[in-house]
Structure 1
């Protein structure tokens, strides 16, 4: 597995915090981690992470890597006129952050990211030593049996 958690305390804290946030903010069970759902795809030579960021200001999207932790943050805000009266608010606003623990088999020096149509795609190359490869099988010469008389 190429995405791992190296600190069980942080992982449990994140899980409990997400559960509390879902209950408090009324996010449904199908809303994966609230306002920044993630899909991860493992391909032959890289890993793609796709983050949904609808309505996020493109200039606010930030991707950082520090000691094997990829952090994505973005801001979504909406301003209303002075005489506007908001009577329903279901879309979460504010700054959202998501952290992904990267395996040592990924090349964090060569990460690239692109943001288009509300989706941030982060591509992380797999190190050469971690890529699938075919192992050559050598055929041994048949043993010669000699009969001593």
Structure 2
């Protein structure tokens, strides 16, 4: 399963090519810091057929990604369109960059 993964502002975007996969067979799981994507493509049942060429693999696809502690795993959004699985993985509030202002304190002149 070929994938693209990039960060855009406060979220990660993951897209995976899964042509011919039934969306109902896709399982996305987050366990701690491990994101797992599983999908199943079944071969067509053709009783009595004599295959001449069979190049489209069937079976289970599995990819795992270490996502670290900086993502909001409770709000991952997944969609499937035209054979492409898309995940939007938000960055958690605690992992977002912050800016701090430095205040100057002057001691009174004596």
The TM-score normalised by the length of structure 2 is 0.84
Equivalent pair of 1:44/1:132 in contact (CA under 8 Å) = no
Structure with larger RCO (C-alpha < 8 A, sep 6+): 2
Structure 2 gap segments, 5+ residues each: none
Structure 1 gap segments, 5+ residues each: 1-35
Structure with bigger helix share is 1
SS at the partner of 1:124? strand
**Number of residues of Structure 1 aligned to a counterpart in Structure 2:** 110
Equivalent pair of 1:77/1:94 in contact (CA under 8 Å) = yes
Q: Which residue of 2 aligns with 1:89?
A: 54
The TM-score normalised by the length of structure 1 is 0.64
Structure with bigger strand share is 2
Deviations 1:104-145 (A, max 9, x none): 11111221211111111111110122223444354676x999
The runs of at least 4 aligned residues of structure 1 exceeding 4 Å deviation read 137-141, 143-146
Deviations 1:49-73 (A, max 9, x none): 1111011011111111112111111
Structure possessing the higher radius of gyration over alpha carbons: 1
